[in-house]
C-alpha cells in the first residue's frame, strides 16, 4: 500500500516537473529570442526605442495568435487529435531554423519602417515564435486533463512560465550577451527550441496515456456556467492597461528621464514579476497590500515627479515612476488573477489576456504616435489603472446616482483650474504656490481611495495641470513625435557677454540636447554646445583649415546643423541622418539658420549611415565625423570593428576620422581604444572642459583617428587644446557586428 502511494507521489512530482519545466523552457526561449533578435535588427534602425516597441507589438500579436490556436485546438478537437496537429505544426516550424535575417534587407528611408519591421520579423522568426507562444495555454490545458490532484487549478504553473521569462530576460544582458556572440546565440537558441519540442512531446505522451486510462475521453465538468460579456470585458481592460503601461513607461523613461542603455529591461522585469506574484500561493495576501499601497505611494510621489522632475537626480525620478508602474500593474494583474475562471474556460481566459496585450501594444505603437506629440499614453494609462481598482464594478452597478456623485468634486476642480488659467496672465511667477497646491491635491486624493472614479479623475486633473505648467515653462516652439522619438525646438534666454538677456534656440531629442543657436545676428553663425570653436572639433577645423580648405567632409548625425558653419568655399559636405524629421527641422530657417546661412547646398542622405556609406566610392573623404553618440541611446553598430574599417575604406589615406563620444553613462573611449590597438590606428582623445564661462560652450569628449601618426601631428602639437594619446584598456573584448556588450563599459 505504502509502495503504491510512494509510486503515485513520484509520478505526481514528475508530472509537475515535466509540465512546469516545459513552461519554464518555453518562456525562457521566448525572452531570449526577443532581445537577441532586437539586437540583430537595431543596426538597421539606429537604436530607437520605437524599434523595441514595434518588436513588442509583433511578439504580442503572435502570442495572441498562439493563444487563439491553443483555444481552437483544445475546444474543437479531442486530445489525440490535438497532439497530432500540434506535433505537425512543430515539424513545420523547423523549416525556419536557424533564426536569422533574410539576406540583403534594408529598411525604407522615406516612410515609417513599422510595417517593414513587422514583415521582417514574420519571415525570420514567425514560425518558431508561434510554437513557443502556444505553449503556456496549451500545456496548462493538457495538465488539467492528466489526472493530477492539482489539475483542477493549474494556474499556478503560470508562475513557472513567468519565472522562466524573468530569468531569461535578466540573463541576456548580464550573462548571454557578454559571453556569447550573435551567431552562436542563434545556433544555441535553435538547439534550445529542439529541446523544448522534446519536452512538449513528453507532455503529449503523458496526456495520451492519461486519456487512454479513462473510460471516457470527456473532460471533467466544473459547472455549465457561461462567461458573461461583462466578465470578458473586465479581463480585457485589466490586461490591456498594464500592456500599454509597460510600453508607455519604457518610452517615457527613455525619452523624458534618461536614454540609459538597457533601461527597457527594468519595466519588463517588473511586469513579469507581477505575474509571478499574483499567480503564486501568496496572491491573497500580496494583492490586499498592493491595493492599499497604490494610492499612498502613487499619487503624491508621481505628482511631484511630474511637477518638478528637474530638481531630482534621474535615478530618483526613475525610481518614483517604476514604483508607480509596479503598483498599478500589481493591482490590475492581481484583480485579473482573483477573477480567474475554472479550467473549462482556461484557454478563453488566456486568449482574452493575450488579445488585450496585443491591443495595448498596438495602441502605443500605431495609435499614440499619431494622435500625441509627446509620450502622453503613459500618464493616461496610470489614470486608467486607478479606475480599474477594486470597487469600480460596484460603483457602476449601484446606478447613475453613485457615479455622478463621484464626478462632482473633480468637475468643480476643473472649473476652478480653468478660471485660474484664463484670469491670471503670468502663471509661471506663481509656480511655487501652484506646485504646493497640486501636491496638497495629490495628498487629498487619498481620501477617495475607495472611489475609483473620483480617484482616477483627480489624478487625471493633477497630471494635466502639471503637463500644462511644463508646456508654459519650457516655451516649446515645435514638438513632434516620430518612429525615432520625440523631437522638440525650445526657446530660452541667456545672459550674453554684456550681461544682457538674449534669446536662443535649443534642439532636443527627448531630454538630450542635439544643438543650440543664438538668435542675435552677430552670433547666429557661431557653432555652440558640443561643436564650439574652443572645443575639440573647433580646434580640428582651425588647425587643418590652415593646410587645406578644399576638404571633402562626411558627417553622421545632423542635429541642428551646427557643424555646417565650419564650411569653407570649395568644400563638399554630406550629412547622413536617420530621421527625415531632423532634416526638416534643421533645414527650416523658422527654427535654425545654421544650414541656411552657412551652407544651404549641403547634401542630405537619409537612412542608416552604414548602409548609405557602403554605396559611396572608396577613399572619398578627407574628414569623416561620427556624431551619433550625443544621445545616450547609442547605435552600437556604428562603433564596431567592422564600422571603423568601413569608415577608413571611405577616407583618404591621409584622412581623419573624428568621433563624438560625450556620454553620461558609457565609457565609449574603451571601445575605440581597443579598435585603435587591434587595427593599428593612430588615435588621440580630448576630454574638453571650458576654461572660461562662455554661453552655450559645454564640456565634450572627442576622439580622432588616422592611419598614420603624422596625420594627427598638427593636433598633437596644437596650442589650442590638450590632445592626449588614447590610453590602452585590457579589460574589454573587441566590439564586432557579432558581439557588443554595453555592461562592460558602464561608468
83 located within any domain: no
**How many domains does the chain contain in total?**
1
pLDDT at 549: 79
- pLDDT per residue as tens digits for the range 256-303: 555 555 667 788 889 988 988 888 777 777 888 888 888 877 665 555
Domain membership of residue 713 (yes or no) is: yes
As a residue count, the chain comes to: 747
Confidence of residue 676 (pLDDT cuts 50, 70, 90): very high
DSSP 743: G
Q: Hunting for cell 553620461 — which residue is that?
A: 664
Q: Is 50 contained in some domain?
A: no
pLDDT tens-place string over residues 343-387:
778 888 888 988 998 898 889 888 888 888 777 888 889 888 888
- Residue 237's pLDDT is 92
> Is 416 part of any domain?
no
Pairing of strands 651-660, 621-626: parallel
For residue 19, is it within any domain? no
Q: Which three cell numbers stand for residue 162?
A: 513567468
Grid look-up 518612429 returns 483
Asked if 447 and 461 count as a contact pair (C-beta separation under 8 A), the reply is: no
Mean pLDDT throughout 499-509?
87
Task: Tell me if 219 is assigned to some domain.
Answer: no
The mean per-residue pLDDT over the stretch 711-733 comes to: 88
How far CA 636 is from CA of 40, 109, 539, in Å, comes to 11, 20, 27
Range of the domain at 547: 506-745
Q: Does residue 532 belong to any structural domain of this protein?
A: yes
Report yes or no: 632 and 261 within 8 Å, Cβ to Cβ.
Answer: yes
Q: What's the Cα-to-Cα distance from 164 to each of 19, 280, 281, 730, rounded to whole Å?
A: 13, 14, 18, 35
In three-state secondary structure terms, 449 is: coil
Residue 99 has pLDDT above 90, yes or no: no
Instruction: Quote the CA–CA distance of 333 and 242 in Å, as a whole number.
Output: 8
- Alpha-carbon distance of 349 to 344, in angstroms, equals 10
pTM confidence score:
0.77
Residue 689 sits in a domain of what CATH number?
Answer: 3.40.50.150
Phi and psi angles of residue 505, each rounded to the nearest 5 degrees, phi first: -110, 145
Amino acid at each position: 500500500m505504502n509502495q503504491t502511494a510512494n509510486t503515485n507521489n513520484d509520478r505526481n512530482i514528475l508530472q509537475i516537473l515535466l509540465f512546469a519545466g516545459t513552461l519554464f523552457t518555453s518562456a525562457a526561449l521566448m525572452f531570449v529570442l526577443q532581445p537577441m533578435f532586437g539586437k540583430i535588427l537595431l543596426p538597421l534602425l539606429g537604436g530607437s526605442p520605437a524599434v523595441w516597441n514595434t518588436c513588442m507589438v509583433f511578439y504580442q500579436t503572435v502570442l495572441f495568435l498562439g493563444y487563439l490556436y491553443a483555444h481552437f485546438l483544445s475546444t474543437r478537437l479531442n486530445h489525440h487529435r490535438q497532439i497530432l496537429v500540434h506535433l505537425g505544426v512543430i515539424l513545420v516550424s523547423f523549416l525556419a531554423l536557424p533564426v536569422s535575417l533574410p539576406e540583403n534587407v534594408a529598411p525604407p528611408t522615406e516612410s515609417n519602417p513599422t510595417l517593414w519591421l513587422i514583415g521582417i520579423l514574420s519571415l525570420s522568426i514567425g514560425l518558431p515564435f508561434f510554437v513557443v507562444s502556444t505553449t503556456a495555454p496549451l500545456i496548462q490545458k493538457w495538465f488539467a486533463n492528466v489526472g493530477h490532484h492539482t489539475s483542477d487549478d493549474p494556474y499556478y504553473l503560470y508562475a513557472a512560465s513567468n519565472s522562466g521569462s524573468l530569468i531569461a530576460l535578466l540573463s541576456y544582458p548580464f550573462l548571454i550577451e557578454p559571453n556569447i556572440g550573435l551567431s552562436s546565440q542563434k545556433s544555441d537558441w535553435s538547439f534550445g527550441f529542439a529541446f523544448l519540442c522534446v519536452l512538449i512531446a513528453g507532455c503529449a505522451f503523458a496526456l495520451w496515456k492519461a486519456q487512454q486510462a479513462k473510460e471516457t475521453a470527456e473532460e471533467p465538468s466544473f459547472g455549465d456556467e457561461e462567461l458573461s460579456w461583462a466578465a470578458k470585458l473586465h479581463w480585457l481592460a485589466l490586461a490591456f492597461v498594464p500592456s500599454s503601461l509597460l510600453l508607455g513607461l519604457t518610452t517615457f523613461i527613455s525619452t523624458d528621464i534618461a536614454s540609459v542603455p538597457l533601461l527597457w529591461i527594468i519595466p519588463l522585469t517588473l511586469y513579469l514579476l507581477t505575474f509571478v506574484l499574483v499567480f503564486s500561493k501568496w496572491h491573497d495576501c500580496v494583492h490586499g497590500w498592493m491595493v492599499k499601497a497604490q494610492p499612498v505611494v502613487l499619487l503624491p510621489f508621481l505628482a511631484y515627479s511630474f511637477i518638478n522632475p528637474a530638481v531630482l537626480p534621474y535615478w530618483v525620478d526613475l525610481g518614483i515612476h517604476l514604483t508607480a508602474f509596479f503598483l498599478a500593474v500589481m493591482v490590475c494583474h492581481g484583480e485579473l488573477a482573483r477573477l480567474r475562471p475554472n479550467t473549462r474556460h482556461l484557454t478563453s481566459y488566456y486568449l482574452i489576456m493575450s488579445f488585450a496585450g496585443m491591443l495595448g501594444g498596438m495602441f502605443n505603437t500605431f495609435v499614440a504616435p499619431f494622435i500625441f506629440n509627446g509620450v502622453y499614453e503613459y500618464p493616461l494609462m496610470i489614470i486608467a489603472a486607478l479606475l480599474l481598482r477594486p470597487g469600480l464594478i460596484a460603483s457602476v452597478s449601484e446606478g447613475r446616482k453613485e457615479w455622478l456623485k463621484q464626478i462632482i468634486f473633480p468637475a468643480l476642480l476643473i472649473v476652478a483650474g480653468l478660471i485660474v488659467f484664463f484670469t491670471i496672465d503670468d502663471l509661471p511667477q506663481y509656480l511655487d504656490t501652484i506646485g504646493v497646491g497640486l501636491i496638497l491635491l495629490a495628498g487629498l486624493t487619498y481620501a477617495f481611495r475607495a472611489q475609483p472614479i473620483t480617484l482616477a479623475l483627480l489624478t487625471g486633473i493633477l497630471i494635466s495641470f502639471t503637463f500644462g505648467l511644463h508646456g508654459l515653462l519650457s516655451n516649446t516652439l515645435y514638438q513632434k513625435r516620430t518612429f525615432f522619438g520625440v523631437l522638440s525646438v525650445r526657446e530660452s534666454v541667456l545672459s550674453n557677454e554684456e550681461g544682457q538677456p538674449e534669446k536662443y534656440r535649443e534642439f532636443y531629442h527627448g531630454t538630450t540636447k542635439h544643438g543650440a543657436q543664438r538668435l542675435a545676428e552677430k552670433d547666429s553663425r557661431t557653432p555652440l554646445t558640443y561643436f564650439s570653436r574652443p572645443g575639440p572639433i573647433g580646434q580640428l577645423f582651425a588647425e587643418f583649415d590652415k593646410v587645406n580648405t578644399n576638404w571633402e567632409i562626411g558627417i553622421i548625425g545632423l542635429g541642428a546643423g551646427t557643424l555646417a558653419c565650419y564650411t569653407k568655399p570649395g568644400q563638399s559636405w554630406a550629412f547622413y541622418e536617420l530621421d527625415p524629421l531632423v532634416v526638416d527641422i534643421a533645414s527650416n530657417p523658422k527654427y535654425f539658420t545654421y544650414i541656411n546661412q552657412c551652407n544651404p547646398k549641403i547634401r542630405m542622405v537619409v537612412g542608416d549611415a552604414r548602409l548609405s556609406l557602403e554605396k559611396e566610392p572608396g577613399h572619398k573623404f578627407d574628414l569623416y565625423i561620427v556624431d551619433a553618440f550625443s544621445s545616450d541611446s547609442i547605435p552600437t553598430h556604428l562603433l564596431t570593428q567592422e564600422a571603423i574599417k568601413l569608415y577608413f575604406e571611405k577616407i583618404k589615406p591621409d584622412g581623419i576620422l573624428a568621433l563624438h563620444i560625450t556620454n553620461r553613462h558609457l565609457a565609449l573611449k574603451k571601445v575605440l581604444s581597443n579598435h585603435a590597438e587591434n587595427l593599428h590606428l593612430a588615435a588621440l582623445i580630448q576630454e574638453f572642459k571650458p576654461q572660461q564661462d562662455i554661453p552655450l560652450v559645454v564640456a565634450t569628449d572627442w576622439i580622432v583617428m588616422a592611419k598614420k601618426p603624422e596625420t594627427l601631428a598638427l593636433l598633437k602639437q596644437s596650442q589650442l587644446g590638450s590632445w592626449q594619446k588614447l590610453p590602452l584598456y585590457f579589460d574589454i573584448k573587441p566590439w564586432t557586428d557579432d558581439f557588443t556588450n554595453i555592461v562592460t563599459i558602464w561608468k
